[in-house]
Amino acid sequence: EKLLEYGFPRTYIELLKNRGITRLNPVQKSAVKKGLFNSMNLLVSAPTASGKTLIGEMALVHNTINKDMIGLYLVPLRALASEKYDEFKELEKLGLRIGITTGDYESPAEYLGRYNIVIATYERFDSLLRLKPKWLNRIGVVVIDEFHMIGDPERGPILEMIIAKMLSSQAQIIGLSATIGNPDVLAGWINAELVDDPYRPVELVEGVYDKKNHVIVFRDGRREKIIHRIGGAALNISLQSISSGIQVLVFVHNRRKAEEWAFKLSEHMGLFKHLIDKNKLSEILEELKESPSRLEREKLEYLISRGVAFHHAGLSSVARRVVEKGFRERIIRAVFATPTLAAGVNLPARRVLVSIKRYSPMRRQTVNIAVYEYKQMAGRAGRPTYDPYGEAIIYDASSLSEGLKFIHGKLEPITSKLNNERSLRIHVLALIASKDANTLEEIINVFKNTLFVAEYRDLAYLKSTIDIVLDDLLEWGMIESIGNNKFIATKLGLITSITYLDPLSVNRYLENIKDNVGDLYYLMLITQTPDYLRSKPYISNKLVELYEEEALELSDEDIIPEPPKTFEYYDYYVWLQSFVQAKMLHDWINEIDEDEIAEKYGVGPGDIYSARDTASWIASALSRVEKVLGNTVRANNLEKLSIRLEYGVKEDALELVELQGIGRVRARTLIKHGIKSLKDLASTPPSKIESLPGFGSRLVRSLYEQLREKGLI
Ligand code: ADP
């Protein structure tokens, strides 16, 4: 057995064998050779599906078995964390304890110390580094998935700070990344050996659609004439691929187009309908019924029955899962997806159609995407073990030569995004609050380990931004100077850092809050924070401007905060935008139907979900701030608002939604039938509840079980 020589227990070798892994592939071997099991820091830069996860996994298993230390696996998104958790759960067969932590930024989570392997998002681990649970010094290895995120304007600086801190610990650092342009620079930064291998288990054949001659020209010299003419190139190629039994994943930069094209293609799917496995189809459509939106259900049911679907961030999580599953099980033959798919789940396809053009709202024109973005999408082509090779085809190049520029293009280098006020004020406050650094020198010292400094070999730029940031934090009352260039965090600074909010969010809130204001006022203070604005759902300019008059009237009546006093149109526009966002959330907590909200604001159920998720977190965090400042009235208002945002309910339903299985719709049904509290429910016979719409016998049994646990029966 080849794998035995690495000293793994037989049970693990067996487990790998069951997954079809009997020997290491070239990238993995190279990682081992460069010190994977000898505590060397490694940066693995290799194509998608080349087996990078296993490199991380083996390091984690090795670390646990030989050192009894904790291993961390860090990912950028919550969805990825649960995907990895499901994957690693299998290791429990070896007696390893696997844990996951993604939300709840305020909990030091000492209990995580019981696990051997912990999966976390970057953000969550960053918050843990501030809270300092005891187990931090028992971390033996940190695997960082999607290492190229270091160049992301939002998550990059967080990752950079995590690494800067871990570099001065004992832990082995293993970065995993899709191919990057400057791996040597990044590897140098983290003192890592570079494992830079172009090996791909499934060969990738790239091609460009030449629209003049209606032909796909592949890199390997093959040509494929496109004969179908049902619409644009993406549609014609899709139909032709499906006709030859090839599944396609089509990347489209715009949601509306993705949906439109899916419907257009579905008109031509009559011939394929009989090929779809009826049992699997009905199973999938059954799952789709769990979607919270009627509109979404109807659209997708229609499409999926014809073997087509779309996929974008506006979908509910149920619908996203259904589309992914349907595609994997080959019920869905073509998916029109926005590029968020390429950054998130693992959904490979034999043939991927890539768009290299995107509309830039800033520049008000179509622009070409980066080579790096193209490669990310193209890398999705080819399913390991199923396909002999994968094909990535650029379908919207203006000319053959433009397309070839992407295929042969050099990847852009990844650079630090740390030097901006937002990132630095967050991290400087965190350093002072957690007492990791208290003087300017100590602060600067931590930043010495960042990629920014590795790139510029100079701290001057950073220093000048840090100066600005320190002034702001002093002015906002979050830190105090205690002489000798020494700073300590105030009560406000401490709690701000613990909540994980941007200090500016807290400052803006405190400057604008008043007593005796209503829900809409609070909501708008929330939607005006940078923490909300950075991930807000898109609402079109046209729609926003439609609400201008209403916004001005409401601000005259003090129902919402005043517009900014600057003369910048941009600031005014953000105020208007925040108003419309707040209005949308206000509809949500007043139990307006989700489809109605979606239609009114031009958003999808997935957008509503993420907007209320963020808003609920901010409300709860601000509530903690108010509590520390001693304002219990406001703290309570915000706490209530946070729960209402989470469930989308009016105040009278807050008690009922405590029960698992009761959401906004069922709570309202109960209240309409006179059941207004848990006590009311406990004294109602189950048979009566079962007769209400939406209450099956299994749910009712679970409800009474929960009431019993609460001691109410
Ligand atoms: P990456 O993380 O590089 O995108 P994955 O870890 O998802 O790639 O690996 C892709 C697939 O290849 C997985 O299904 C995995 O089980 C399989 N795989 C990884 N290493 C090997 C190996 N040495 N032999 C056979 N299959 C492997």
Question: Each residue of 137-160: pLDDT tens digit?
Answer: 999 999 999 999 999 999 999 999
Single-letter code of the amino acid located at 580: V
How large is the average pLDDT for residues 467-496? 96
Looking at the chain, the whole-number percentage of residues with pLDDT higher than 70 is 100
pLDDT for 408 equals 95
Q: What is the mean pLDDT of the chain?
A: 94
CB 212 within 8 Å of CB 79: no
Write the ipTM. 0.98
Q: Which residues contact 159 (CB under 8 A, 6 or more apart)?
A: 76, 122, 144, 147, 149, 150
Instruction: Supply the residue whose CA is at minimum distance from atom 20 of ligand 1.
Output: 51
What Rg, from alpha-carbon coordinates, does the chain have? 27
179 in ligand 1 pocket by Cβ < 6 Å?
Answer: no
Ligand 1: centre distance to CA 391 (Å):
19
pLDDT for 555 equals 96
**Mutate-to-test residue for ligand 1 from 15, 32, 54, highest number of ligand atoms within 8 A of CB:** 54
Looking at the DSSP bridge assignments, the partners of residue 207 are 218, 393
Integer Cα distance of 391 and 510 in angstroms = 54
Confidence class for position 179, pLDDT limits 50, 70, 90:
confident
pLDDT > 50? residue 418: yes
Number of neighbours of residue 475 by Cβ within 10 angstroms: 10
How large is the average pLDDT for residues 643-647? 97
pLDDT > 80? residue 123: yes
pLDDT > 70? residue 1: no
Ligand 1: centre distance to CA 103 (Å):
28
Ligand 1: centre distance to CA 50 (Å):
6
Looking at the DSSP bridge assignments, the partners of residue 393 are 207, 353
CB 40 within 8 Å of CB 192: yes
Higher local confidence (pLDDT), 115 or 178: 115
Integer Cα distance of 633 and 261 in angstroms = 52
For 492-505, write each residue's pLDDT tens digit. Answer: 999 999 999 999 99
For 70-99, write each residue's pLDDT tens digit. Answer: 999 999 998 889 989 999 999 999 999 999
Q: Strand runs (DSSP E) across 252-387, as ranges?
A: 308-311, 334-337, 351-354, 357-360, 365-368
| Among candidate residues 237, 88, 709, 190, the one with its CA nearest the CA of residue 453 | 190
Q: Which residues contact 38 (CB under 8 A, 6 or more apart)?
A: none
49 in ligand 1 pocket by Cβ < 6 Å?
Answer: yes
How large is the average pLDDT for residues 235-263? 96
For 256-295, write each residue's pLDDT tens digit. Answer: 999 999 999 999 998 777 788 999 999 999 999 999 999 9
Ligand 1: centre distance to CA 49 (Å):
6
For 158-178, write each residue's pLDDT tens digit. Answer: 999 999 999 989 999 999 998
Instruction: Supply the residue whose CA is at minimum distance from atom 16 of ligand 1.
Output: 19
pLDDT > 80? residue 345: no
CB 502 within 8 Å of CB 617: no
Instruction: Supply the residue whose CA is at minimum distance from atom 12 of ligand 1.
Output: 51
385 in ligand 1 pocket by Cβ < 6 Å?
Answer: no
CB 219 within 8 Å of CB 400: no
pLDDT for 659 equals 96
**Position in ligand 1 atom list of the atom nearest CA 54:** 6
pLDDT > 80? residue 603: yes
Single-letter code of the amino acid located at 120: A
Confidence class for position 344, pLDDT limits 50, 70, 90:
low
| Among candidate residues 592, 582, 581, the one with its CA nearest the CA of residue 649 | 592
How large is the average pLDDT for residues 562-589? 93
CA angle 8, 14, 16 (to 5 degrees): 80
Ligand 1: centre distance to CA 8 (Å):
18
Domains of the chain are 2-196 (3.40.50.300), 203-407 (3.40.50.300), 421-490 (1.10.10.10), 503-648 (1.10.3380.30), 656-709 (1.10.150.20)
CA angle 618, 80, 341 (to 5 degrees): 95
**Position in ligand 1 atom list of the atom nearest CA 23:** 23
- The owner of tokens 């830039």 is 360
Instruction: Supply the residue whose CA is at minimum distance from atom 23 of ligand 1.
Output: 24
SS3 249: strand
Instruction: Supply the residue whose CA is at minimum distance from atom 22 of ligand 1.
Output: 21
Integer Cα distance of 168 and 188 in angstroms = 15
pLDDT > 90? residue 47: no
How large is the average pLDDT for residues 554-573? 91
